[in-house]
Each structure stands twice: as structure tokens, then as C-alpha cells.
Structure 1
Amino acid sequence: MEPPPSPSSISRVSSPLSLVLIGLAAGIVGSFFGLGGGVVFVPLFTLFLRRPIHQSTVTSLAAMQVIALVSILTYEFQAHLHGQELVRWSMVWLLAPAAVLGSSLLGIPLGRRLRGQSLRRIFGLALLLVASRMLGWFGAGSPPSESAPWPLWVAGPCGVLMGMASGLLGVGGGFLAVPMLALGFQLDQHNAHATSLVIVLAASVAGTLRAQQGDDPERKPDWNVALHVAPGAIAGAIAGSMLAAAVPPGSLRSAFAVVLSVFALQMLGLGQAIAAGARLIRSRLRGGRVSD
């Protein structure tokens, strides 16, 4: 097993500007869709910065705290200006404590013991089903507004599942929280995104604290990377929150479903296969130009 790059090796792998851009992209995506940014952080930390997958997931949890916190403050500021309530705090009190337990007691320990390939594929298939439901491809005859909302006792198990996914995969749990809040508990899409970010923040903090207690450096957060991406993440979180408030809920739902589909392909390993094919084609084209 190769040792993880040292903090000083960041400059050899990427420039500080590229780290800021990674944070910017994660901040916009995480805030706009209520995800937290892990869907951007984890693949780029692993493939671009060449961090081990376990370190990438827990570093993502550390970096996402900035995105979630700034996004929540921006959402609340906009809600105050317009006399609205974006974060449904009643749902937060039901889901967040369970998410904290799921992240610290289940997600992080499972991530340390398992490779997670089979579990990632299961999550990938589940995400495809959720994305198709949100796009109306599955169960289109009974839209969320016409079906009964989930009973409140379901919030506990849902929160545990969100937290477990957060700790295990380093994605904050927002990819599960948003569809559960929108489809299951029937929150408006904007309310679902804002509420999800509070749950993401709670689960990320709990998961980071638990991961920091480990002995293996490859399974602990790389705080140097997290600090380097923070400036871009802050700017992206503000921009993403403002964009989300200006987009109609229907368009936001469709856009989020597309992001879920892309994330599902990554979880199933198809994203890496596509990237490998693109690299092969690029190398062949370069070889052809050299030979000419």
C-alpha cells in the first residue's frame, strides 16, 4: 500500500488555485442541491489529488462543514429578507440526532472495516431509482403531492440511514436526505434542500470527530487539503444558495435528479470506466499527432 502524499506534496499534485476551484465547484453543487459537496470532493480528492479513498471520504466530511454552515446562513438570511421559512427546524430535530448516531456509530466504523464496493453498488442502484422517481419515470401516476406523507416515526430510521451514508461514503447524506424530505415528508424542494444542509452539517461534524480518533493516517482527515479548498467552498456555497432561491422548484427537482444519476454512475463504477476510456482515446490521439 502506497503511503498517502504528505501535505507538501499538494503543490506537486495540484496548484493552490486548482484546490480553490475544487472547493468552488463543490460549494456550488453542494449548496444548490442541498448535498453538502461530497459528490464533488470525494472523486476529485481520490482521482485528482491521488488520496486513498478512505482518506478522501473523511476529508470530504471535514471540508463539507464549511459549505453546509455557509449555505445554511445564506438560506436563513434570504428567508429573513422575504419573510419565509426555508429550514424546517421541526424536521431537523427529528432527523439530525439520528443522523449523528448513524454517522459516528455506523458509517465511520463500517468504512474502516469494509472496502465498500458492494455497498456502493447498492447505493448506486438506489440512487438511480430515486432519480427516476424524481424525474417522473417511475411511479409517475402518483406524484408526491397526491400521496400521504410518511409518518413522523419514520424520521428516526431515515436519519440513521442518512448518517450512515454520510460517514461511510463521505457525501454528507444529502443525496438521501433531499429525496426523503421532498418525496417522503413532502417538503417543498427549496425547503428540502435547506433542511438537508442542517442534517449534513450535523452528520459531517460527528463523522469527522469520530474519524479523527483513528490511528491509521489514511483513514483520518487531511486538514491541509480541507483548509486549501475552504475559500472556494465558501464562495461557492454563497453562490449556490442564491441560485437555488431563484430557480423554480420543478426545475430544481429535475436538475437534482440529473445530479443523482451522475452520482449513481460513479457509485456503480461506470464513471471510472468512462474516464478511463476518455484517457485512452486522448492518449491515442496524442500518439497519432506525434507520429504524424
Structure 2
Amino acid sequence: MIETLLLAALGGILIGLLLTLFGGGGSVLATPWLIYVVGVVDTHAAIATSAAAVAVNAATGLIAQAKAGRVKWPCASVFATAGLIGSVLGARLAMQVDGDFLIRAFGVAMIAIAVSMLIPRKNEGDPAVRLTPTMIWKLAPVGLVAGLAAGFFGIGGGFLIAPGLMAATGMTLANASASSLVSVTLFGGATSATYALHGQLLWPVFAALVAGGAVGTLAAMPLLRRIEKNAKLLRHGFALLVIAVGLFVIFR
């Protein structure tokens, strides 16, 4: 049991480090780590536990971004409310799916996320954007789809949320990245809660992941300035790593 928790904590350190350095995508490694390294046999339990850890990490980041004034709360709230419904539906759907099929579908999602990380994103947009009635009709459907994917795969869904917020509102990348944490927190919380009600959340492993994630985040902070010049190259390298892990998960 101690070895299991230590391996989970080590995974948390790695994921916290990657999330802080690259701003997304790192959490998608949590489920494969729990299955193939920690040794969690039940795919559903691994997804539930990683989703809970993702929610906690996102909530921590959200507090920091909110203090900095980057979160567009009205837009983020509409998106998150619609997505919350989708995340519960997605989690309940995943519970009915065979574990082997689910982990292979998760591998496909990993590759999609990695590809999205390779696409250049412009930061142009309106930093003073305000919610309008027209925006609501754009935000809600995209939020529902993002939540469905997040709930089904037990991921944060940030690779869908930030671009969706930008497309529907015209906000900047910085505001979208910050505002997306509202949805990631709620989606991860709803997904893990749905599984927890059926006794499929591994609480000790979850605690180890979160503790490791905090250490990883702290360790990454001094590295941010050092890698700034090579951030794009490193991000692409990380995306290729995620693709490789995704292919491993699919064909194993």
C-alpha cells in the first residue's frame, strides 16, 4: 500500500510540474499513470480518482487567476453551467462502457489533446469582453459538449474549453485560459462525485496525487523563467510525448 501511494505521489509531482510549465495537457497523463505505473486495475476507478485530483489542481489555479483579475466570471459561469450537465451525463455513460474500450477511447482523446497543443493560438481578443444574450446561445452548446467529453474521459477538458470560450466570446487567450479553470474545476468535481457515489473513487490514491501535485507545482515555479525562451519547443516535445503514450494505451 505504501509503495502504491508513493508511486501515486510521484505521478502527482510529474503532473503538477507539467501543468505548471505547459499550462494544460498534463492532467491527461494521470489516468495512464494510475493504470500502468501505480497498478490500478479498474479503469473506472482510475478515471474517477484522476478527475478528482484534476478538480483540486484546477481550483488552486483558479484562486490565483481570480486574484489576478483574469477570470471573466459571467461568460465562464454560462459555459460551466451547461458543461456541468454534460459532465454528469458523460460520467454516467462511461460507467456503462467496458473498461478495455474506455481506456482505448481515452488513448484517442489523448492524441486529440496533444494535437490541439501543437496548433498555434493567437492572443488577440477583447480583454474587456462582456456577456451578451447572443453569446449565451454560443457558449451553452459548446460547454455541453466539452462537459460531456470531460465527464466521459475523466479529463479537465481544457483543450476544448479555452478555444470554445475564445470562439464564442472573442476574449483573449489569457482570459480564456483563466476562465476555463471554472469549468475544469466543476467538470472534474462532478465526474469524480458521480463515480464516488458508486464507490469507485480511491481516496488514499487521490490524496497522494494531490499532495504530489502541490510539490510539482512548487518545483516548477523557479523553472518558468528559465524555459521561457524554449517554451514553444518544449511544449511541442511534451505534446509528442502525450501522443506516444496515447498510442501505447490504444495498442497495448
Q: TM-score range by the shorter chain?
A: 0.7 to 0.9
For the 8 Å contact 1:36–1:67, the answer to whether it is kept is no
SS at match of 1:116: helix
Q: CA deviation at 1:266?
A: 3.6
CA RMSD of aligned residues (A): 3.5
Q: CA deviation at 1:155?
A: 1.2
In 1, the alpha carbon distance for the partners of 2:232 and 2:193 equals 32
Residue 205 (structure 2) pairs with residue 225 (structure 1): yes
SS at match of 2:38: coil
In 2, the alpha carbon distance for the partners of 1:178 and 1:242 equals 26
Q: CA deviation at 1:234?
A: 2.3
Alignment of 1:142-221 (within 5 A): 145=124, 152=135, 153-182=137-166, 185-214=169-198, 217=199, 220-221=200-201
Tell me the percent identity.
23
Q: Structure 1 unaligned runs (5+)? A: 1-9, 80-84, 136-142, 277-292
Q: Which residue of 2 aligns with 1:76?
A: 66
Q: Which of 50, 66, 69 is equivalent to 2:39? A: 50
In 1, the alpha carbon distance for the partners of 2:209 and 2:107 equals 28
1:189/1:254 Cα in 2 relative to 1: closer, same or farther (>3 Å)? farther
For the 8 Å contact 1:33–1:193, the answer to whether it is kept is no
Q: CA deviation at 1:264?
A: 4.2
SS at match of 2:119: helix
1:29/1:91 Cα in 2 relative to 1: closer, same or farther (>3 Å)? farther
Q: Which of 55, 66, 73 is equivalent to 1:65? A: 55
Larger Rg: 1
For the 8 Å contact 1:20–1:231, the answer to whether it is kept is yes
In 2, the alpha carbon distance for the partners of 1:154 and 1:62 equals 28
Q: CA deviation at 1:174?
A: 1.5
Instruction: Using structure 2 for the length normalisation, give the TM-score.
Output: 0.76
Instruction: Using structure 1 for the length normalisation, give the TM-score.
Output: 0.67
Q: Which of 6, 9, 15 is equivalent to 1:26? A: 15
Q: Which residue of 2 aligns with 1:263?
A: 242
For the 8 Å contact 2:108–2:250, the answer to whether it is kept is no
In 2, the alpha carbon distance for the partners of 1:104 and 1:231 equals 26
Residue 218 (structure 2) pairs with residue 235 (structure 1): no
- String of CA shifts for 1:107-155, please: whole Å, max 9, x gaps: 11121122336744653564465345327xxxxxxx6859xx9x62221
Q: Which residue of 1 aligns with 2:91?
A: 108
Q: CA deviation at 1:242?
A: 8.2
For the 8 Å contact 1:61–1:172, the answer to whether it is kept is yes
